[in-house]
Chain A
Amino acid sequence: MTVRLRFPRFRRFSTQLLVLLTGLFAVVQISVYLLVSRANENNALDHIRQNLEVGAGIFRQNLSERIAFLAGSAKVLSSDYQIRKLIMQEPLDRPTLQSVLRSYADRVKLGAESLPPFITLFSTEGQILALSVENDELATENIGPFQYLIRRAAEAEMEQASDYSYLKGRLHVLVVVPLYAPYPNVAGWFGLAYPIDTTITQPIKKNTLLEFTFTSAPNQPDHRVLSSTLPDALAREVLEYNAAHSGNISGSRVMTLAGEPYVTRFESLDLLGEAPARIALQRSLTAELASARELARKALSISLAALVAAILMAFGLARGVSRPVQQLAQHTKLVASGDYSQRIDLGRKDELGQLATAFNQMTAGLAERDRVRNLLGMVVSPEIATQLLKSDLKLGGEEREVTILFCDLRDFTSLSEKMPPTEVLALLNRYLDRMSTIIEQHGGVIDKYIGDAIMALFGAPVAIPDAAARAITAARAMGDALEDLNRQLTAEGRPRLTFGIGINTARVVAGNMGSKTRLNYTVIGDGVNLASRLETQTKEPAHQTLIIVSEATAVAAGVAKSLRFLGSMQVKGKSDSIRTYAVDVLPRPWQERT
């Protein structure tokens, strides 16, 4: 079974447009915001990692420079003539030597603020002769690393040897240089030590914004913080982290200190005869991202403002589209209800304006067509009009069986001479209207009026199954209607009217006839003429009927036996005699007349 996502559907187009535009804009804004934030974060991480690398490099560089500085200082000190003389004196004047070393320590201080290095003078055998600090105990305690370095330097004939070690539990860089008296006679050794602590790392922190935390080897019992640029509480957290990650950790990682993420790089500092110390170089991601976050905040507010603006603009745009559409819809309803009088004006030149113009033209066109259709319906019968509108207007026709009814007023010409023309026309129209109504009621179609005569068709243009019967029924009804009309006319004091009807059923040609520019739908053929002749036959008093139908009609209507047979008559223009029947209508007008 597939699950189909159902989006809320909005009925109003303007709402859809609004939602679409706003949604698109919001999606773009959110995507951009997320992308930028992500890029910022990655950028910050990269930047920190680079900085960490640089910081580590600077730190190492600084250490080697410090070593070089200490070694250089020691060389200058060892070249001092008086120390050479003092060290050769017997017995050795230790207090003087110690004071000299203290003076040396002050000479090689890095700056007024910084600590003096710790200087010791060793005999060629590695025994302490003097040291720059008072505490003998401290010195003897820490003699090991120096002695090791002295051995190393002496064996390798080195000008100096250096390494890192703990002195009194604190991390130091150690340098030993020989005291020549003169070269190559080594009279003793200078041992210099400088603490590796925040005095080295603070200046680096100032430049790189990195935090340095030195801790002793995490897997050793005396795991502790050696020094740190971080506050004590945070440094302890680094220590705990180290304890939890005592294995070899390399690369940079994100560590959380006091809830804040710190990008951290671990460096290890190899020590003389001890497990290596660990240096954590760190930079707070939050601090690094501060400016980016500020930017992001600004970008977010700009985005929100832009979103609001976009909503307003989309709303305006949606209304700008939906209102004219609504107007058009309103207008369409009017047109649908047949009101072609209204014109729409949207007051715009865009596509909607063009649509309105087209709509107006269409309305005008519709109005024109409707007018034509009405007129057509009046001029020709509605069925013919419909047929005409339906089919292509073209000349030519088709052969089909049609029942033709001819109805002609008797003696109307003489009647009209006694009456004013307008009255004649009024009377004629009154008569024609009644007759036409009846014909149409019976499914007949008025083909044309020929003066006071009516030519009507049954079965054309629309074929009907009982055309002949309908025609006969219609003729009877017409007779009744005429009687009714005559009663009215008599009451009005007007002369009575009488007519004759001839009906014939025959295959004739039906279709549009005329010129290319003017067409008439009609039927032609002998059958039509016969109908007309039959009508003329009603004038024969011997027939005693107003309605004469041909045998074809009578047979088609299935009423031949019930009709009065008039006999075969020779009709004008016809070689064969036609059998005719009379349709009687009561009361018989000819009886009254006679």
Chain B
Amino acid sequence: MNTPPTLNAHLAGLLLAITLTVGLSGAEFSCTLASAPGAQPVNEAAVSLIPLDRPAPPVAAGAEVEIAQKDQEFSTFLTIIQSGTKVVLPNQDTVQHHVYSLSKPRRFELPLYNPGQSESVVFDLPGLVTIGCNIHDWMISHVVIVPTPWFAKTDAQGQVALSVPAGRYRVEVWHPRMGKTETREITLLESTPAHESFSVTLKPDRRIRRSLGGKAGDYR
């Protein structure tokens, strides 16, 4: 009950990854993200490993991630999913929302729906999707759809650690304040932990601010 469904989804993904790595011979991958001037750790960036020497395992059946609308915000700002994952968009708010995406990988529109209603969208194509709310400009959520089950978000130290089968991979790094996705090809060897450092340039944070008339929030 207390655990948010999104975490459940992550846990499910991780469990899946772990079962897969257990089945194959594993390799340890870690990566650190820092912004270019000042080398500040970049938190909440999407890091994914896309296998190049073999097809990635398909998404688990019934894989589901939730991005809820609550307090006129999306519950997560950045969500990473494997393509084919279903995203549930429940309205747990007190007001109606009009959730939409105009991004190429998945365009959809959930016209005004009431609190308590829940809609879901399956993201089949990899890419970046920005989900917005037509009636609340400040509500923005980014969904990174990757064709791989091996992905993670950087922590407060800008670090991420993944256990994947040995092999060739493309590392993809993305953050909402980065212009383009950063990619790098690596080869991971068994029992040889690999570490990659990324130095990225972040654009200034110009997120649309919630206006003063909005419901009480952290915005002042």
Chain A residues in the interface with B (C-beta under 8 A): 79, 81, 84-85, 88, 157, 159, 181-185, 187
Contacts of A79 on B, CB cut-off 8 Å?
A: 137
For the complex formed, measure the closest distance between the CB of B100 and the CB atoms of chain A, giving whole angstroms. Answer: 7
* B132, CB-defined interface residue at 8 Å: yes
Contacts of A88 on B, CB cut-off 8 Å?
A: 102, 107
Residue of A nearest to B137 (CB): A79
Judging by beta carbons under 8 Å apart, are B103 and A185 in contact? yes
Interface residues of B in 184-210 (CB under 8 A from A): 203-204, 206-208
* B21, CB-defined interface residue at 8 Å: no
* B140, CB-defined interface residue at 8 Å: yes
Closest 5 CB pairs of A and B: A182-B132, A181-B102, A81-B134, A88-B102, A185-B130
Give Cα distance in the complex from A181 to B131, angstroms: 9
Given contacts A79-B137, A157-B204, contact A187 B132 (CB under 8 A): no
Interface residues of B in 142-169 (CB under 8 A from A): none
For the complex formed, measure the closest distance between the CB of B45 and the CB atoms of chain A, giving whole angstroms. Answer: 15
For the complex formed, measure the closest distance between the CB of A186 and the CB atoms of chain B, giving whole angstroms. Answer: 11
Judging by beta carbons under 8 Å apart, are A184 and B130 in contact? yes
Judging by beta carbons under 8 Å apart, are B140 and A183 in contact? yes
Residue of B nearest to A159 (CB): B206
Give Cα distance in the complex from A318 to B94, angstroms: 102
Interface of A is mostly: loop
Q: How many CB-defined contacts (below 8 Å) exist between A and B?
A: 37
Give Cα distance in the complex from A18 to B132, angstroms: 97
Contacts of A85 on B, CB cut-off 8 Å?
A: 102, 109
For the complex formed, measure the closest distance between the CB of A102 and the CB atoms of chain B, giving whole angstroms. Answer: 23
Judging by beta carbons under 8 Å apart, are B100 and A81 in contact? yes
* B90, CB-defined interface residue at 8 Å: no
Contacts of A185 on B, CB cut-off 8 Å?
A: 102-103, 130
Give Cα distance in the complex from A88 to B207, angstroms: 22
Interface residues of B in 88-128 (CB under 8 A from A): 98, 100, 102-103, 107, 109
Given contacts A181-B102, A182-B132, A183-B208, contact A157 B203 (CB under 8 A): yes
Q: Which of B98, B100, B103, B132 contacts A183 (CB 8 A)?
A: B132
Give Cα distance in the complex from A6 to B86, angstroms: 117
Contacts of B102 on A, CB cut-off 8 Å?
A: 84-85, 88, 181-182, 185, 187
18 contacts across the A-B interface (CB closer than 8 A): A79-B137, A81-B134, A85-B109, A88-B107, A157-B203, A159-B206, A181-B102, A182-B130, A182-B137, A182-B140, A183-B130, A183-B132, A183-B140, A184-B176, A184-B203, A184-B206, A185-B102, A185-B103
Give Cα distance in the complex from A181 to B102, angstroms: 6
Give Cα distance in the complex from A88 to B132, angstroms: 15
Give Cα distance in the complex from A182 to B204, angstroms: 17
Contacts of B100 on A, CB cut-off 8 Å?
A: 81
Contacts of A187 on B, CB cut-off 8 Å?
A: 102
For the complex formed, measure the closest distance between the CB of B97 and the CB atoms of chain A, giving whole angstroms. Answer: 13
* Interface band, chain B: 10 to 19
For the complex formed, measure the closest distance between the CB of B69 and the CB atoms of chain A, giving whole angstroms. Answer: 14
Give Cα distance in the complex from A187 to B104, angstroms: 11
For the complex formed, measure the closest distance between the CB of B220 and the CB atoms of chain A, giving whole angstroms. Answer: 20
For the complex formed, measure the closest distance between the CB of B67 and the CB atoms of chain A, giving whole angstroms. Answer: 14
Q: Which of A81, A157, A181, A182 contacts B206 (CB 8 A)?
A: A157
Residue of B nearest to A80 (CB): B134
Give Cα distance in the complex from A88 to B108, angstroms: 12
Give Cα distance in the complex from A81 to B133, angstroms: 10
Give Cα distance in the complex from A79 to B135, angstroms: 9
For the complex formed, measure the closest distance between the CB of A90 and the CB atoms of chain B, giving whole angstroms. Answer: 10
Contacts of B109 on A, CB cut-off 8 Å?
A: 85
Q: What 18 new A-B contacts, CB under 8 Å, besides A85-B109, A157-B204?
A: A79-B137, A81-B98, A81-B100, A84-B102, A85-B102, A88-B102, A88-B107, A181-B102, A181-B103, A181-B132, A182-B102, A182-B137, A182-B140, A183-B130, A183-B206, A183-B207, A184-B130, A187-B102
Of A81, A159, A187, most buried by chain B (CB within 10 Å of CB) is A81
Contacts of A184 on B, CB cut-off 8 Å?
A: 130, 176, 203, 206
Contacts of B98 on A, CB cut-off 8 Å?
A: 81
Contacts of B140 on A, CB cut-off 8 Å?
A: 182-183
For the complex formed, measure the closest distance between the CB of A136 and the CB atoms of chain B, giving whole angstroms. Answer: 27
Residue of A nearest to B107 (CB): A88
Give Cα distance in the complex from A157 to B134, angstroms: 22
Give Cα distance in the complex from A183 to B102, angstroms: 11
For the complex formed, measure the closest distance between the CB of A119 and the CB atoms of chain B, giving whole angstroms. Answer: 20
Give Cα distance in the complex from A157 to B107, angstroms: 25
For the complex formed, measure the closest distance between the CB of B26 and the CB atoms of chain A, giving whole angstroms. Answer: 37
Give Cα distance in the complex from A81 to B204, angstroms: 25
For the complex formed, measure the closest distance between the CB of B6 and the CB atoms of chain A, giving whole angstroms. Answer: 21
Contacts of B130 on A, CB cut-off 8 Å?
A: 181-185
Over the window 67-93 of chain B, the binary record of Cβ atoms lying under 8 Å from chain A Cβ atoms (1 yes, 0 no) is 000000000000000000000000000
For the complex formed, measure the closest distance between the CB of B129 and the CB atoms of chain A, giving whole angstroms. Answer: 10
Residue of A nearest to B138 (CB): A183
Contacts of A183 on B, CB cut-off 8 Å?
A: 130, 132, 137, 140, 206-208
For the complex formed, measure the closest distance between the CB of B142 and the CB atoms of chain A, giving whole angstroms. Answer: 9
Contacts of B137 on A, CB cut-off 8 Å?
A: 79, 182-183
Contacts of A181 on B, CB cut-off 8 Å?
A: 102-103, 130, 132
Give Cα distance in the complex from A561 to B92, angstroms: 178
Residue of B nearest to A85 (CB): B102
For the complex formed, measure the closest distance between the CB of B177 and the CB atoms of chain A, giving whole angstroms. Answer: 8
Give Cα distance in the complex from A84 to B206, angstroms: 20
Of A157, A159, A184, most buried by chain B (CB within 10 Å of CB) is A184
Residue of A nearest to B100 (CB): A81
For the complex formed, measure the closest distance between the CB of B178 and the CB atoms of chain A, giving whole angstroms. Answer: 10
Give Cα distance in the complex from A211 to B45, angstroms: 59
Give Cα distance in the complex from A187 to B100, angstroms: 15
Of A79, A85, A88, A183, most buried by chain B (CB within 10 Å of CB) is A183
Residue of A nearest to B103 (CB): A185
Give Cα distance in the complex from A85 to B98, angstroms: 14
Contacts of B134 on A, CB cut-off 8 Å?
A: 81
Contacts of A157 on B, CB cut-off 8 Å?
A: 203-204, 206
For the complex formed, measure the closest distance between the CB of B204 and the CB atoms of chain A, giving whole angstroms. Answer: 6
Contacts of A159 on B, CB cut-off 8 Å?
A: 206
Residue of A nearest to B102 (CB): A181
For the complex formed, measure the closest distance between the CB of A74 and the CB atoms of chain B, giving whole angstroms. Answer: 14
Give Cα distance in the complex from A85 to B137, angstroms: 15
For the complex formed, measure the closest distance between the CB of A75 and the CB atoms of chain B, giving whole angstroms. Answer: 9
